[in-house]
Amino acid sequence: MKHLLSIHDLTPSNIEEIMEQTRLLKASHNSKIEHFTLRGKTLGMIFEKASTRTRLSFEVGMAQLGGTTIFINTKETQIARGEDLCDTAKIFSCYLDAVVIRTFAQKYLEDFAKYASIPIINGLTDLLHPCQILSDIFTIEEKFGTYEGLKIAYIGDGNNIANSWINLATKLSFELALACPIGYLPDEAIFERGLREAKGKLSLTQDPFAAAQGADVIYTDVWTSMGQEEEKERREHDFAGYQVNEKILQTARPSAIVMHCLPAHRGEEISAAVIDGRQSVIFVQAENRLHLQKAILEMLILGG
C-alpha cells in the first residue's frame, strides 16, 4: 500500500490492518499513552476545498504521533501560477514524508501520486472520500462487533460518499442499499463495477423507505455539496422525501444506528430529532476519523 487514493485500490487485508491499528491507536489515546511513531516526520496538506474535520483530524493526528504538518493554501504557492504538476510533486517529495490532498478532480490527485515518491492520501475529491468511509466502517464494527452480514442503507445524493461506499462493498461482506433520485445517481462506472464485484448484495432504488427496510445502518449526506451552491433550490425540490427522519427510522431495525459524514443541514437531509437522538453515532463517527487517519499515516509513512 503506497498511496490511499481509492478504497478500490486496497485489499481486504489492507482494510483489516488499518482497522486493527485504529483500534490500538484509539485505545492508547483513551489510556493517555503517548505514541510518537512519526517523530521527525512532516505531512504536507494541499487543500483546495474548505475543511473542518479533515483538516483538524489530520493535523491533530500527526501531532499525536509526534510529527508536524504544513498546511498549504494553493493560492499562496506557485501551484496557483501554473507550476507543472510533475515538478510540484517532485519538490514536495524532497521536503515532506507524505501529502494529503483535498481537491476537486480525482485525476489531479492520481497524477500527483504518479509523479511523487512519497505517499499521497485522498482527503476528498468530487469522486471519492476514502478516509471517511474507512472510518465509518470502523465505527460500524465498533458498534456491532462486526460489519459482516449487516445492511447499510445510504439515502441521498449519489456523490463521493456513495461512490466510496460502493467501492468498500467490493472488498467487504455487507449489504449496501442506495436510494438516490434520478439525476443524482452514483458514478455509473463505479456502480457497474460494484454490481460485478460486491461481496454482498448491492442495490439502487429511488425509494428511500425500501432502502431503509430492515437496515442496521442509515446513512445520509448533504443534498448540496461544495461547489453546488447555485443548485441548492433545485436540489431541495428534487430530494423532497429523502430526509432521514423518525418515519424513515421506523422501517429500519430497532437497533439501527444513524450516520452522517458532516457538515449536516438540520431540517434538510436529516431532522434535528434524529441527529441528536439516541440512535445517532454521528459524533463518535467524526471522532474516529482522527484515529483511523493516524493508522493510515503510520502505515504509509513507515512503510507498513
Kindly name the residue from 8, 221, 243, 291 that is annotated as catalytic. 221
User: In whole angstroms, how far apart are CA 212 and each of 172, 187, 219, 248?
Assistant: 20, 21, 9, 7
Tell me if residue 180 is catalytic: no
Tell me if residue 39 is catalytic: no
Kindly name the residue from 129, 235, 260, 291 that is annotated as catalytic. 129
Q: Fill in the DSSP letter of residue 4.
A: B
Tell me if residue 102 is catalytic: yes
How many Å apart are CA 155 and CA 198, to the nearest integer? 19
Kindly name the residue from 106, 132, 285, 293 that is annotated as catalytic. 132
The separation between CA 235 and the C-alpha centre of its own chain, rounded to angstroms, equals 22
Residues 6+ apart with CB under 8 A from 16: none
Do residues 238 and 184 make contact, with C-beta atoms less than 8 angstroms apart?
yes
Three cell numbers written together for 132: 471517511
Kindly name the residue from 8, 97, 131, 261 that is annotated as catalytic. 261
How many Å apart are CA 265 and CA 259, to the nearest integer? 13
Tell me if residue 221 is catalytic: yes
Kindly name the residue from 3, 8, 53, 102 that is annotated as catalytic. 102
Do residues 74 and 80 make contact, with C-beta atoms less than 8 angstroms apart?
yes
Kindly name the residue from 3, 8, 235, 289 that is annotated as catalytic. 289
Tell me if residue 86 is catalytic: no
How many Å apart are CA 153 and CA 5, to the nearest integer? 24
The three-class DSSP label of residue 6 is coil
How many Å apart are CA 242 and CA 210, to the nearest integer? 12
Residues 6+ apart with CB under 8 A from 114: 89
Q: Fill in the DSSP letter of residue 187.
A: P
Report which residue type is found at 180. Answer: C
Catalytic residues: 102, 129, 132, 221, 261, 289
